[in-house]
């Protein structure tokens, strides 16, 4: 008797809408199992669980060689990394093990860019500080910065970076971008080699992928190059920034403030030094999470994975 094809989903945004996607699996005779997860499953838990499944839609879990080897020793035949980022996935291991895999490219550029620019505006006008003050019974009126005529250093010119550049230019910001591999961008975007010209930037915004070469690229040395009072936004990956160095610069006043949607360890640990600083704004690695974006990416992930698994097309 042929076993029913089973798929494990561990991606939190997709899990938040999983009931709406069940019919898409069921129409092709596939059982979908929703993992119980806040942000990621651990490597040991994945090794114990994954062998029971034919396919895996991956979130930000540690998709290591060990995990894929454990899955391949069982039923695992294919995987899809939900979303754009792939720094947590060992693609080389998948190739060696004969496991078809892809990510979901070009899905969330606009959504994440919207969040990046919302953080830029929030730091410029100190809206979060105002909110906290009003809630505490105060009536603060900080003098913020106008965006027009200011300079934004944009680290990364992929899909998210290009969308962010367009929004920044529309707001009247001057954009200096860092990405040696980027295709042509709007003529108004200036190009530079990291970390040159950081002293010109009022805002430093990270939208790039995490690689072995750029971990902690924003460290104490890079921060020292920044203009005093610069504001920092990260909607990319937490390990791009040395959080200890960032906390020290925020504490000393070298940097004015920071808005972080991502962290080196997620969820952000209770003892993290950043938590003690009032000039910070935090997200929950949620920049891509809109109804429209989740549906678009999840349908792509489902259809791609079921194609890999040879699940029959649904009948009209």
Q: Which domain holds residue 305?
A: 5-107+291-309
Q: Are 177 and 162 in contact (CB under 8 A)?
A: no
Are 247 and 297 within one domain?
Answer: no
Say whether pLDDT at 100 is over 70: yes
pLDDT at residue 183, rounded to an integer: 78
Dist. CA 170–CA 168, nearest whole Å: 5
Q: At 181, is the pLDDT very low, low, confident or very high (cuts 50, 70, 90)?
A: confident
R_g of the chain computed on alpha carbons: 21
Say whether pLDDT at 25 is over 80: yes
Dist. CA 143–CA 209, nearest whole Å: 34
Dist. CA 163–CA 170, nearest whole Å: 11
Say whether pLDDT at 242 is over 50: yes
Q: Could you tell me if residue 62 is inside a domain?
A: yes
Say whether pLDDT at 313 is over 80: no
Segment 263-283 shows an average pLDDT of: 96
Segment 217-231 shows an average pLDDT of: 98
Segment 129-137 shows an average pLDDT of: 97
Per-residue CA distances from 186 to 132, 161, 178, 236 (Å): 38, 12, 14, 21
Q: Are 151 and 173 in contact (CB under 8 A)?
A: yes
Are 248 and 157 within one domain?
Answer: yes
Q: Could you tell me if residue 126 is inside a domain?
A: yes
Are 171 and 254 within one domain?
Answer: yes
Are 103 and 161 within one domain?
Answer: no
Segment 285-289 shows an average pLDDT of: 93
Are 84 and 193 within one domain?
Answer: no
Are 12 and 136 within one domain?
Answer: no
Q: Could you tell me if residue 226 is inside a domain?
A: yes
Are 73 and 155 within one domain?
Answer: no
Q: At 315, is the pLDDT very low, low, confident or very high (cuts 50, 70, 90)?
A: low
Segment 297-312 shows an average pLDDT of: 95
Say whether pLDDT at 316 is over 60: no
Say whether pLDDT at 2 is over 70: no
Contacts 24+ apart (CB under 8 A), 264-271: 264/238, 264/239, 265/238, 266/39, 266/40, 266/60, 266/238, 267/38, 267/39
Are 75 and 117 within one domain?
Answer: no
Say whether pLDDT at 239 is over 80: yes
pLDDT at residue 228, rounded to an integer: 98
Q: In the predicted model, what is the mean pLDDT of the chain?
A: 95
Q: At 182, is the pLDDT very low, low, confident or very high (cuts 50, 70, 90)?
A: confident
Q: At 1, is the pLDDT very low, low, confident or very high (cuts 50, 70, 90)?
A: very low
Segment 92-96 shows an average pLDDT of: 98
Q: At 314, is the pLDDT very low, low, confident or very high (cuts 50, 70, 90)?
A: low
How close are the terminal C-alpha atoms of the chain, in Å?
Answer: 27
Q: Could you tell me if residue 32 is inside a domain?
A: yes
Are 178 and 93 within one domain?
Answer: no
Segment 241-245 shows an average pLDDT of: 98
Q: What is the pLDDT of residues 157-180, one digit of tens each?
A: 999 999 999 999 999 999 999 998
Q: Could you tell me if residue 263 is inside a domain?
A: yes
Q: Could you tell me if residue 316 is inside a domain?
A: no
Q: What is the pLDDT of residues 47-85, one digit of tens each?
A: 999 999 999 999 999 999 999 999 999 999 999 999 998
Give the active site residues: 237, 266, 285
pLDDT at residue 38, rounded to an integer: 85
Are 72 and 209 within one domain?
Answer: no
Q: Could you tell me if residue 315 is inside a domain?
A: no
For residue 250, give the CATH number of its domain: 3.40.50.720
Q: Are 84 and 167 in contact (CB under 8 A)?
A: no
Residues forming beta bridges with residue 257, ordered by sequence position: 231
If one counts the domains in the chain, the total is 2
Q: Could you tell me if residue 314 is inside a domain?
A: no
Are 211 and 122 within one domain?
Answer: yes
Are 114 and 224 within one domain?
Answer: yes
Higher pLDDT, 182 or 300: 300
């Amino acid at each position: 008797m042929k076993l029913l094809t089973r798929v494990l989903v561990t991606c939190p945004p997709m899990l938040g809408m999983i009931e709406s996607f069940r019919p898409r699996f069921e129409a092709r005779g596939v059982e979908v199992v929703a993992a119980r997860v806040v942000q990621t499953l651990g490597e040991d838990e994945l090794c114990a669980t994954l062998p029971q499944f034919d396919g895996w839609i991956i979130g930000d879990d540690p998709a290591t060689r060990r995990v894929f080897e454990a899955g391949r020793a069982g039923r695992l035949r294919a995987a899809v990394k939900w979303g754009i980022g792939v720094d947590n996935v060992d693609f080389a291991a998948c190739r060696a093990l004969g496991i078809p895999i892809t990510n979901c490219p070009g899905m969330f550029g606009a959504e994440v860019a919207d969040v990046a620019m919302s953080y830029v505006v929030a730091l410029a006008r100190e809206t979060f500080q105002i909110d906290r003050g009003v809630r505490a019974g105060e009536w603060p009126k900080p003098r913020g910065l106008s965006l027009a005529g200011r300079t934004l250093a944009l680290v990364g010119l992929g899909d998210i970076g290009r969308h962010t550049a367009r929004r920044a230019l529309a707001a009247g910001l001057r954009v200096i971008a860092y990405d040696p591999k980027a295709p042509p961008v709007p003529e108004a975007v200036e190009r530079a080699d990291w970390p040159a010209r950081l002293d010109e930037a009022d805002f430093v915004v990270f939208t790039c992928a995490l690689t072995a070469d750029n971990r902690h690229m924003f460290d104490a040395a890079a921060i020292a190059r920044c203009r005093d009072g610069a504001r920092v936004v990260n909607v990319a990956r937490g390990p791009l920034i040395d959080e200890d160095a960032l906390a020290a610069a925020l504490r000393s006043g070298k940097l004015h403030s920071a808005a972080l949607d991502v962290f080196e360890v997620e969820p952000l640990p209770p003892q993290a030094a950043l938590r003690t600083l009032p000039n910070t704004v935090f997200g929950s690695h949620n920049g891509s999470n809109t109804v429209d974006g989740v549906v678009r990416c999840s349908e792509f992930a489902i259809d791609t994975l079921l194609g890999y698994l040879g699940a029959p097309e649904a009948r009209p």
